[in-house]
Amino acid sequence: SIDLKLTERVHYSRRYIQPIFSNSVDRDNVVNITEPLLKDVVEVDLYDCGDAWVPQTAPIKLQVPKPHPKMMFTHLTFGVATNYDRLNDSISPFAHWISGTGAKLVAIVIDAKEKSPSEMKQLQDSFEIAGINVTLETPINETFTTAQNHFAVLLPMLEHSNPDTHWYGLLDDDTFFPTLKPLSDSLATLDHKVDAYVGALSEDFEAVRNFGFMAFGGAGAFLSPPLAKKLGDRALKCIDEATTKEGDTILRDCVYANSKAKLTILRGLYQQDITGDVSGFFEAGLKPLSLHHWKSWYKAPVEDMAKATKFCGDCFLQRWRFGTDTVFTNGFSIVTYSDGIESIDLDLMEGTWGKADTRDFDFSLGPLRNPYPKSKKKSYELKKAEFGENGDLKQLYVRVGDSDVDEPDQVVELVW
């Protein structure tokens, strides 16, 4: 359970969705559903222990992709370097995408020497209880910074990977994959038997100007086995001779100094160098392979959001129009536009975040449309999702009321 900190009285509605699973869903098509999504609203007193009467309405039929088949990903080895507390906090979001998949996680605990053996065992046990195949490592060199360890983790990754490893993924502790299959499928389009350096630039061209052309670490940086082994042989030398401080720049310089590999940009990996209101990003119909910065530069419950992937695969962030004024983005929001859907271009991303008006994001996410006036955009954002005992997916979308005029919070529950 979670405390959503709702007002004492809320306006509540529940809609049932009947998924029609299909292999022929066009994820880029925003299908129009003629009936309204938001209706039959009742007022509920959350402090009243009695049962509230909720109107029953016919389920809405939505065509969605089929769930991803159960697969193993033993060919993927991931590495991360962070401190004990942050790693402990990362177990649950990591478990969402790596638990029970056969993929390997190698983690350098940069402050391991400050922890007792029992604390380290407790951390190891917590990962194993979560179904994560993890190896915890102490830093190779106690003088290494966190950034240097971000690169140095490649050494224990090589040591603990299996012969079938196709890709080594270097991550930040807040890199999040909604689900592994699309990532694995995208990497499979590349040749892992040759030197390959794969990732994504920052979406912010100012960051590219400052740090250069490289795989930005939060999006995930992937190395093929031949290249990973070359860099492993030279890793300590690369760290010692580095002229930069960041782990992803040390990696880039080591790649370019020791191989002919050049950066291959993998579409769908996102560094997410965006701050504040990121609704425009998530409401654009994207199919992200990775997300980042979700608990720092912006706040989003990515685990709950991405539970949709376990129900209907690529339906996460799939969009539908309802009636004349509402857009539903699965796993993120329900939005009503007071001037109607025809007043916006759903093919363009809405530039809602800080600095979106600088043109620095046009090369990656543009062209952008101007932010819709907040007074005319009524947003219900996903706060919680969970699976019922019968496999139903329940999602809670919440709009916070205006406390200045004692407006109650509004809650929409969707039951798949």
Q: For residue range 95-128, what is the model confidence (pLDDT) as tens digits?
A: 999 999 999 999 999 999 999 999 999 999 999 9
The pLDDT score that the predictor gives to residue 50 is 63
Contacts of residue 279, defined as CB under 8 A and 6 or more positions apart, other chains included, come to: 332, 333, 335, 350, 352, 379, 381
Tell me the average pLDDT of the chain. Answer: 95
Cis peptide before 367 (omega within 30 of 0): yes
pLDDT band at 1 (very low <50, low <70, confident <90, very high): very low
- The answer on pLDDT for 357 being more than 50 is yes
- The answer on pLDDT for 91 being more than 60 is yes
The pLDDT score that the predictor gives to residue 7 is 72
Q: Where are the domains of the chain?
A: 1-66+304-416, 76-265
**CA torsion, points 32, 33, 35, 41, in degrees to nearest 10?**
-100
Query: Closest by alpha carbon to 380, among 9, 10, 8?
Result: 10
pLDDT band at 51 (very low <50, low <70, confident <90, very high): low
The pLDDT score that the predictor gives to residue 113 is 95
pLDDT band at 190 (very low <50, low <70, confident <90, very high): very high
Q: Calculate mean pLDDT across residues 151-180.
A: 97
- The answer on pLDDT for 47 being more than 80 is no
Q: Calculate mean pLDDT across residues 271-277.
A: 97
Q: Higher pLDDT residue, 9 or 64?
A: 64
The pLDDT score that the predictor gives to residue 53 is 66
The pLDDT score that the predictor gives to residue 9 is 83
pLDDT in tens, 387-411: 999 999 999 999 998 877 778 899 9
The pLDDT score that the predictor gives to residue 13 is 93
- The answer on pLDDT for 186 being more than 70 is yes
Question: Percent of the chain having pLDDT more than 70?
Answer: 98
Task: Please answer whether residues 9 and 44 qualify as being in contact, where contact means their C-beta atoms are separated by less than 8 angstroms.
Answer: yes
d(CA 181, CA 349): 25
The pLDDT score that the predictor gives to residue 30 is 97
The pLDDT score that the predictor gives to residue 52 is 67
The pLDDT score that the predictor gives to residue 48 is 67
- pTM of the predicted protein model: 0.94
pLDDT in tens, 197-247: 999 999 999 999 999 999 999 999 999 999 999 999 999 999 999 988 899
Q: What is the CATH number of domain 76-265?
A: 3.90.550
The pLDDT score that the predictor gives to residue 403 is 75
Q: How many residues does the chain have?
A: 416
SS3 string, the chain, reads: CCCCCCCCEEEEEEEEEEEEEECCCCCCCCEEECCCCCCCCEEEECCCCCCCCCCCCCCEEEEEECCCCCCCCCCEEEEEEECHHHHHHCHHHHHHHHCCCCCEEEEEECCHHHCCHHHHHHHHHHHHHCCCEEEEECCCCCCCCHHHHHHHCHHHHHHHCCCCCCEEEECCCCCECCCHHHHHHHHCCCCCCCCCEEECCCCCHHHHHHHCCCCCHHHCEEECHHHHHHHHHHHHHHHHHCCCCCHHHHHHHHHHHHCCCCEEECCCCCCCCCCCCCHHHHCCCCCCCCECCCECCCECCHHHHCCHHHHHHHHCCCEEEECCCEEEECCCEEEEECCCHHHCCCCCEECCCCCHHHCCCHHHHCCEECCCCHHHEEEEEEEEEEECCCCCEEEEEEECCCHHHCCCEEEEEEEC
pLDDT band at 42 (very low <50, low <70, confident <90, very high): confident
